[in-house]
Amino acid sequence: MNNVAEMVRPVERKVTRLSDLTESQQAAIRMIPAEKDAVNVPLSATRPNAIFTGQARYDAEQAGIFRKYPVPVALSALLPEPGSVVAVEAYGKPLLVSRTREDEIRVFINACQHKGSKLVEDCAVHRQGRIVCPYHAWTYGIDGKLIGVARPDMFEGVDKQARGLKELPSRVWGGVIYAQLDGREPDWSLLSQQIADDFEALGIPGAHVYGRRTFDLKANWKVVLEPFLEGYHVQRLHAASIGALFPDAPNVVDMFGPNIRQVSGRIGYYPAMLDENPDANIHKLVTHAYTAFPNLVLVSSQYYTSMMILMPTAPDRTTVHYAMLTPGPAQTEKAEEVFQRSYDLILSVFGGEDFRAAEITQAGLSCGVPEETIYCGLEANIIHYYEALEALL
C-alpha cells in the first residue's frame, strides 16, 4: 500500500482528525502503545475442525444467528439518491434495497407477486421511480407498491393493494442496512450504538462508493473473517504488499456485545504523534478495524475505507460483498488515478492474499486437517469473537 496513495490526498475535503472521532474511539487510540512498548501475551487456545466444516455447526449458526437476528445486507452509501434501487443477493436470498423518494431505506424480496420472477437481474444501482417485471410487465413503485398490471381486463380482479412487494423489516445502523431475513419482528439488541456512532464519525453513511466487487469464495465465513481479527499474518501473508506498514503487535481491542473494535498504530507509531499535529489525518497514524455483528468488516486506510459483508451460503462457501468507500468522488484526474491504484491494490491484497489464504486453508480443513486450529497471542481477538458467537448458539 506504500504507493502513490500514501503521498497525494485525493479528495479536497477536510481530513478526519482525532478530534472528529467519538470520545470512545479517541480513548482507544490513546491506549495504543509505541511498538517497542507493546505487551505481547502468549495464548493457548484451540477450536475444532468441525466449526469450519461441519453441517451441524453451519445449521446452528443459521438458526442461532443469521436467521434469528437482523443481518447486514448492503451499505446505505450505495443509494445516495432518493428514488434509487439495487438488487443484492444476500445469504442466498434475492433482495431489492431501495431509497424511496421520501428518503427511506426499504428492503424487499426481489420477486414479483405474480409468479415470483426476479424483478431486477443485475447488480447496478438504478435511478428510476418504478420497477417493471421482465416476465409479464407488472409494475411496482420503489416503495414496493404494485402500480400496474398488464391486461388487467384478463384478471377477474387483482387486489393491487394486497400484492405489493414482500418487505423485510430493516434499519440503517451507522450506514449499514440491516434486515431480518425471515421477516419476523427483529431483535435489534445485538447492534451496538457505539459502533453506529463510530461509523458515523468515520463518515460511513455519507461516503461515496468508489468501487465494489463480489467474491464467491470456497471457504467457511469464519475462515474468511479470521485475518481481519488478527495481526499475526500481516507481516507474513502480506510480506510482498502491505506487510511492512504494520507492526507485529497486538491491537487495542474493545468489545461492545458481539461487536469488535480494533485500533492499531501504523509502523513507527508513538503516542505523542497524536498531539504533535492535532489536525493530521488520523488515518495516516492509526488503522481502524471493526467486526460489526455478525459478519461486517470495516478496515480503514489513509484515504479510503474498505467495507465487507461476509455472507455464508454453505459450510464451505462464502459470498463477500466488498466496497471501497471514499469521502467523495475524485475531483481531479490525479485523484482518480490515486483511487484507481488504491482500488486495484486493495483488491489484490484482500482478494489475492487474504481470500486466497482462506481458500487454501479451507482445502486442508475440508479433508480434516488440522483436527484443531491453534491460536497464538496475536490472534486472541479471534477467540474473543468466537466466545461471543458461541454464547448465542
Residues that bind Fe ion (CB under 5 A): 227, 354
CB of 95 to ligand FES, least distance (A): 17
Answer for which of 112, 252, 253, 378 binds ligand FES (CB under 6 A) is 112
CB of 139 to ligand FES, least distance (A): 9
Burial, 50: exposed, middle or buried (Cβ in 10 Å; 0-12, 13-18, 19+)?
A: middle
If binding is defined by CB under 6 A, does position 75 make contact with ligand FES? no
Answer for which of 26, 117, 235, 313 binds ligand FES (CB under 6 A) is 117
CB of 130 to ligand FES, least distance (A): 13
Residue 270 binding partner per list ligand FES, Fe ion, none, with a CB distance cut-off of 5 to 8 Å that depends on partner kind: none
Strands 130-132 and 139-141 turn out to be antiparallel
For residues 95 and 91, give the distance between their C-alpha atoms in angstroms, rounded to a whole number: 10
Taking contact as CB under 6 A, which single stretch among the options 134-142, 154-162, 223-231, 241-249 is the one that binds ligand FES?
134-142
Residue 354 binding partner per list ligand FES, Fe ion, none, with a CB distance cut-off of 5 to 8 Å that depends on partner kind: Fe ion
Residue 221 binding partner per list Fe ion, ligand FES, none, with a CB distance cut-off of 5 to 8 Å that depends on partner kind: none
Return all residues near 209 (Cβ < 8 A) that are at least 6 apart: 75, 77, 78, 323, 324, 325
Per-position b or e across 222-255, b if 16+ CB within 10 A of its CB: bbbbbbbbbbbbbbebbeebbbebbbebbbbbbe
Q: Which helix (H) or strand (E) holds 287?
A: strand 286-292
Q: Which is nearer to ligand FES, 48 or 134 (CB)?
A: 134
Taking contact as CB under 6 A, which single stretch among the options 13-21, 107-115, 209-217, 318-326 is the one that binds ligand FES?
107-115
Answer for which of 93, 114, 166, 317 binds ligand FES (CB under 6 A) is 114
Burial, 179: exposed, middle or buried (Cβ in 10 Å; 0-12, 13-18, 19+)?
A: buried
Taking contact as CB under 6 A, which single stretch among the options 27-35, 108-116, 151-159, 229-237 is the one that binds ligand FES?
108-116
CB of 234 to ligand FES, least distance (A): 49
Say how far residue 262 (Cα) sits from the centre of its chain: 15
If binding is defined by CB under 6 A, does position 135 make contact with ligand FES? yes
If binding is defined by CB under 6 A, does position 13 make contact with ligand FES? no
Mapping DSSP to helix (H, G, I), strand (E, B) and coil, where does residue 150 land? coil
373 neighbors 358 (Cβ within 8 angstroms):
no
Answer for which of 115, 127, 184, 213 binds ligand FES (CB under 6 A) is 115
Answer for which of 96, 133, 234, 307 binds ligand FES (CB under 6 A) is 133
CA dihedral 50, 378, 248, 352 (to 10 degrees): 20
Return all residues near 114 (Cβ < 8 A) that are at least 6 apart: 133, 135, 136, 138, 149, 163
Residues that bind ligand FES (CB under 6 A): 112, 114-115, 117, 133, 135-136, 138
